[in-house]
Structure 1
Amino acid sequence: MKIIIAPDSFKESMCAEVAAKAVMKGFKMVFPDAQYVCLPIADGGEGTVDAFIAAVGGERVTIKVKGPLGEPTMAYYGLLAARKTAVIEMAQASGLMLVAPEQRNPMLTSSYGTGQLIQDALDKGVSQIILGIGGSATVDGGVGMLQALGAVFYDDKQNVLGTGGKVLNQIAKIDISGLDSRLLDCSMSVACDVDNPLVGTRGAAAVFGPQKGATPEMVVELEKGLNRLADVIEQVKGQNYRHLAGGGAAGGISVAAAAFMNAQLKPGIDIVIEAVKLEQEIVDTSLVIVGEGSMDGQTAGGKAPIGIAKVAAKHHVPVIALSGVLGDGVEGLHQEGIDAFFSILPRLSKLDEALTQGEINLQQTAYNVATVLKIGQQL
C-alpha cells in the first residue's frame, strides 16, 4: 500500500514538513509496512521554500537585503537540488510580518528586497525562478523589485524616484536599459492565487491596501499611482496590464514581473504540483492525505488541498483531509474531491493550547483514521 502525505502548513502551529511527518508517524503505528511518500505543500506564501526543499531536495541561501521599510534584514530563498531552480518567497524580504502593526504603511513599504533575492539567485546561475508572492507588505506595483534589478524610475522633472507606494503617482518615465539582462534567459513563474486586477474596485489598492495598513485616503492615492504606473508601462511595452488576472496580487508586483520579466502567473498549487511531480507519484497510490490549519467552503477557491484532490480524482485515488478547524461550508468539499475530512482537535481548548499541541493532535488523529481504515479492511 502506497500513501502520499501532502499537507500544507498549519499556520502558527507547524510547517508542512512537520505536519507530514506527524501524519506518517500516526499511520505507521497501524500500517508499518506501507510505502509513505511525504510531499509537504505550500501555495506561494510563507513556507513555500521549505516545502519545496523538503519535497525535492535543495538548500537555503541566506543573504542580507532591504526589508519593507528599507531596514537591513536577513532573508533566504531555496536552491533546489540541481541548483538551476530558485524558489523565492516575497514574504521573506518584503513580508507583512516583518513590519510591526503600528508601522504598516504601503505608502512607505517597498518590494526592493524581493528584487535583491532574485538578483542573488541570478548570480548563482539559476535558469528558473518560482516566485511566491503571498504575505506581502507592499502596494508599490513591483517598482522596488525592478529598481533592485536595475530599472530606474523618473518623475516629470527627470529626478530619480525613491521607493514605496508614495512614488507611484510621480512616475513619468521608466528606464529599463539597465535591467538585469539575465532575466531574459530565465523562466519565471509567479505563484498567484487570486484573480484581482491591478486597479479598480477589486484592485490592489482597494482590496489589499487596507490589509497592509492603508487608510481610505491612502487607498485613493495608491489607486491613482497604480493607474499612472499602468500608463507608463503601456508606453514602454505597448500593452495595457490594468486588467491582467492576478495583476493586483501582492500590491501589483505580478504586473511588473509579467511586463518586464516575462513571468507567467499561475495558481501556486499548480506550480507546486508540477515541481514535486505529483501526477507521476499518484498513479500507483492507494490513498492521499492532505491537510491545513483551517478548512471551510472557501477552501474550494484554489487552496492546496483541493488542487491535490483534483489530481487524485483523475486517477480515482481517495483523499482524506485533516484540519485544525472545519468551518462553514466544509461539506461542499466532497464535490471537490475530498472523500472525508476530520478535525484534529480532540476537545475544546484555548487557541494557544491548540496551536502548541497541534503536532501531537495531528499524529493522534492520523492514528485514529488509520485504525478505522484497518478495521474496514477486516470487515
Structure 2
Amino acid sequence: MRVVVAPDSFKGSLSAAEVAARVADGVRAARPDAVVTCLPMADGGEGTLEALLAAWDVTPQVIDTVDAIGRPRTARWATSPDGRTGVVELAEASGLPHVSDQPLQPLHAGTRGTGEVARAVLDAGVDEVLVCLGGSASTDGGAGILTGLGARLLDDDGADVPDGGEGLARVVRIDLDGLHPRARQVRWRLAVDVTNPLVGEHGAAHVFGHQKGANDGDAEYLDTALRHWADVLDRETGVRTHDLPGAGAAGGVPSGLVAVLGAETEQGAQLVAEAIGLPEALADADLVFTGEGSFDSQSVRGKVADGIARLAAASPAKPSVVVLAGQVLLPAPLAWEAGITAAFSIAPGPVELDDLLHRTPARLTDLAAQVTNLLGRSGS
C-alpha cells in the first residue's frame, strides 16, 4: 500500500511537518508494510517556507533585516537542493505577528525588509525566486520590496517617499537605476491564495486592511493610494494591475512585482505542490492524507485540500483523498464534488478547544490508523 501524507499545518497546534509525522505513525501502525511518503504542504502563505524546508531537507539561511515598521529583525530564506530556486516568505520579515507588540500602523507599515531578504536570495545566484505571500502587516503594493531591491520611489521634488501605503500617494516616478542587477533576469513566482483585485470594494485595502489596523477612513485612503500607485506603474511600465486577479494579496504586493519584475501570480497550493514533487508522488499512490485546522467551504477554493484533490484526480493512480481536520464544516456532497473521498474531525466528541489542541497529535495518529485499516482492507 502506497500512502502520501501531505497536510497543511494545524495553526496554533502543530506545523505541517508535525502533522505529517503523526499521520504517518498511524498509517504504519495499521499497515507496517505500507510505503509512506511525507510531503508537508502549505497554501503559499505563512508556513510555506517551513513546509519546503521539511520537504527538501535543507537548512535555512538567516539575514539581518527590518520588520514592517523598520525595527531590526532576522528573517529566514532558503534555496532548493539544486540551488536553482530561492524561497522568500513575506511573513518572515514583514509579518503582522512581529509588530503586534505595538499599536498597528496601517499607513506606515511596509515590506522593505522582505525586499532585503530577496536581495540576499538573488546574491545566491538562483534562477527563480518564489515569494510566499500571506500574513502581511502592510498595504504598500509591493513598493517596499522594490526599494529593498534598490529601486527608488520619488515624489514631485525628486525625494524618496516614505515607506508604507501612505507614501504610495506621493509617488510620481520610479527610478530603477539602482535595482539589483539580477532582479529582472530571474523568474519571479508569487504564491497567492486569494483572487482579490488590487483596488475597489474587493481590493487589498477594503477587504484586508482592517485586520492590519486600518479603520474605515484608513482603508479608503489606502485604496486611493493603491489606485494612484497602479496608475504610476501603468504609466512607467505599461502593465495594468488595477484589476489583476490576486493582485490584492498581502497588501497588494503582486502589483509592484508583476509590473516591475514581470512576476507571475500562481495558486499557492499548486505552486508548493510542484516545488516539493507532489504530482510525482501521487502517480502511484493508493491513498493520500491531507488536513488542516478547519475543513470548510474555503478549503475547496484554492486551499491545500483543493489543490491535492485536483492533483489526485489528474494522476494515473487516482488515489483516495482523505482529510483529517480539527473541525469538519463542509457537507459531504460538497466535499465529494471537490474530489475529497472523506473528511473526519479529530474531535472525539464535545471537547474544550484547549483540550483538543492537547490531544491533536494522538488523535491524528489514531484516526489515520483507523482510516488506513479500513481502506486497506477494502483493497485500496
Q: TM-score range by the shorter chain?
A: over 0.9
Q: Counterpart in 1 of 2:61?
A: 61
1:81-100 matched pairs, under 5 angstroms: 81-100=81-100
From 349, 352, 355, give the equivalent of 2:354.
352
- For residues 137-172 of structure 1, what are the alpha-carbon distances to aligned partners after superposition, in whole Å with 9 as ceiling and x for unaligned? 110111111111111111112222121111111111
Structure 2 match to 1:333: 335
Contact 2:45/2:193 (8 A) holds in 1: no
Partner deviation per Cα, 1:251-294 (whole Å, 9 max, x = no partner): 11111111111211000011112112222221211111111111
Alignment check: 8 A CA contact 2:306 2:338 kept: yes
Amino acid at match of 1:360: A
Matches within 5 A, 1:128-277: 128-277=128-277
Provide the residue aligned with 2:374 in structure 1. Answer: 372
Q: Which residue of 2 aligns with 1:342?
A: 344
Letter in 2 for 1:220: E
- TM-score of the superposed pair, with normalisation by structure 1: 0.96
Contact 2:45/2:192 (<8 A) preserved: no
Aligned mates of 1:149, 1:368 — CA distance in 2: 51
Q: Determine the structure 1 residue equivalent to 2:297.
A: 297
Q: After the TM superposition, which of the residue ranges 63-72 and 274-283 deviates more from structure 2?
A: 274-283
- The whole-number CA distance in structure 1 between the counterparts of 2:122 and 2:274 is 22
Q: Which amino acid is the alignment partner of residue 38 of structure 2?
A: C
The Cα shift of 1:102 comes to 5.4
Residue 361 of structure 1 is matched in structure 2 by 363
Moved more, 198-207 or 177-186: 177-186
Q: CA RMSD in A?
A: 1.5
Counting matched residue pairs gives: 378
For 1:277 and 1:81, how far apart are their aligned partners in 2?
12
Query: 1:247 is paired with a residue of what secondary structure?
Result: coil
Match of 1:32 in 2: 32
Question: Unmatched 5+ residue regions in structure 2?
Answer: none
The corresponding residue for 1:278 is 278
- What is the SS of the residue equivalent to 1:29? helix
- What is the CA-CA distance between 1:351 and the residue it aligns to? 1.6
Do the aligned residues in 2 keep the contact of 1:40 with 1:54 (CA within 8 Å)? yes
Residues 6 and 20 of structure 1 are in contact (CA less than 8 Å); yes or no, is this contact kept in structure 2? Answer: yes
What is the CA–CA distance in structure 1 between the aligned matches of 2:288 and 2:272, rounded to whole Å? 16
Amino acid aligned to 1:313: A
- Counterpart code for 1:134: G
In structure 1, what residue type is equivalent to 2:32?
A: P
Q: CA deviation at 1:330?
A: 5.6
| TM-score w.r.t. length of structure 2 | 0.96
Distance in 1 (alpha carbons) for counterparts of 2:274 and 2:376: 32
- Distance, in Å, in 2 between the alignment partners of 1:56 and 1:291 is 20
Question: Per the alignment, do residues 376 and 317 of structure 1 end up closer, same or farther by CA in structure 2, a change over 3 Å counting?
Answer: closer
Q: String of CA shifts for 1:288-310, please: whole Å, max 9, x gaps.
A: 11111110122111111111111
Asked whether the equivalents of residues 26 and 366 of structure 2 are also in contact (C-alpha less than 8 Å), the reply is yes
Once residues 229 and 110 of structure 2 are traced to their aligned partners in structure 1, the CA distance between those partners, rounded to angstroms, is 15
> 1:194: how far off?
1.2
Name the structure 2 match of 1:15. Answer: 15
Q: Is the 8 A contact 2:295 2:325 kept in 1?
A: yes
Larger deviation, residues 91-100 vs 50-59 = 50-59
- Alpha-carbon distance in structure 2 between the residues aligned to 1:208 and 1:197: 12
Tell me the distance in 2 between the aligned counterparts of 1:341 and 1:252. 34
The code of the aligned residue for 1:339 comes to T
